[in-house]
Amino acid sequence: MDRFGNVLFESKEIENERLELTDKEAHYFLGPNLTVKNCTLVLKVSAPRLFFDGARFINCTFEVKQELKNHQQWLAASLKGCRFKGRLSGCDFGHWPEYMSLPGFQHGSIEDCDFSAARMTGCRIMGSDPATLHFPKWPCFTILDPIGRSRELNSVQWPGQVGPIIIETLRKQPPGTVALTEDATAIAKRFDTTPEELRAVIEKFDCILY
């Protein structure tokens, strides 16, 4: 750590190591010119303290020990064959062309990754092929092609306030949104319904994985 509280990982290749990014007083910068292979990264810091600048992660495991909220920096990372554990909310992964002018974001990608051990709320996959990804199971559910299927999803009666508040806004997602993962338990609590009532509707659609 330097005297400004920054921990830098750049211009190197790291393999078969365990990296603990847990100092709440530090800012962690991963990249540029960083390749991380077959490593376990333990994350226990808030989103404003974690930066990816074009870093490449290959066959790594991310253990999120503290819920990571609204972390857009995943869009500046190349993720291949990685596994995620822990709670993620409001996080975006993949490639988002509108961010291309920012450092590292031109390298953003995701493929062959596994979120089955994660708990995700309001997380999006951008500009990538969701068929290569494993999403978390129920009570999480994933809407594929949320923009293209928004009219169909809005054609049925959803319980509570889910229809007016969530489903009607799908078409307003950014153009590159290919998948949206939500947590039925969290949604039910916020929008006056139950997970069981949500599932009864979700089961009708082949564009929703659960």
Q: pLDDT for 173-199, tens place per residue?
A: 999 999 999 999 999 999 989 999 999
pLDDT of residue 3: 64
pLDDT of residue 163: 87
Q: Can you spell out the DSSP letters for the chain? A: --TTSEEEE-SEEEES-EEEE--TT-EEEE-SSEEEES-EEEE-S-GGGEEESS-EEES-EEEEEEEEES-GGGGGSEEES-EEEEEEES-EEE--GGGTTSTTGGG-EEES-EEEEEEEESEEEESS-GGG-B---TTEEEEESTTTTHHHHTTSPPSTTHHHHTGGGGGGS-TTEEEEEEEHHHHHHHTT--HHHHHHHHTT-TTEE-
Q: What is the mean pLDDT of the chain?
A: 95
pLDDT of residue 1: 64
Residue 29 has pLDDT above 80, yes or no: yes
Average pLDDT over residues 20-26: 96
Distance between CA 202 and CA 210 in Å, rounded?
Answer: 8
Average pLDDT over residues 99-116: 90
Question: Which pTM value belongs to this model?
Answer: 0.93
Residue-level length of the chain: 210
Residue 34 has pLDDT above 70, yes or no: yes
Residue 205 has pLDDT above 80, yes or no: yes
Q: How many Å from the N-terminal Cα to the C-terminal Cα in the chain?
A: 42
Q: Residue 136: phi, psi to the nearest 5? A: -65, 150
Q: Which residues touch 122 (CB under 8 Å, ≥6 apart)?
A: 89, 90, 180, 181, 182
Residue 4 has pLDDT above 80, yes or no: no
- pLDDT band of 33, cuts 50, 70, 90: very high
Could you tell me the sign of the dihedral formed by the alpha carbons of 191, 194, 198, 200, in that order? negative
pLDDT of residue 74: 97
Average pLDDT over residues 3-23: 93
Residue 144 has pLDDT above 90, yes or no: yes
Q: Are 200 and 184 in contact (CB under 8 A)?
A: no
36-73 per-position pLDDT tens digit? 999 999 999 999 999 999 999 999 999 999 999 999 99
Q: Are 117 and 97 in contact (CB under 8 A)?
A: no
Which tokens hold the place of 4? 């400004």
110-120 per-position pLDDT tens digit? 999 999 999 99
As a whole-number percent, the residues of the chain with pLDDT over 90 amount to: 87
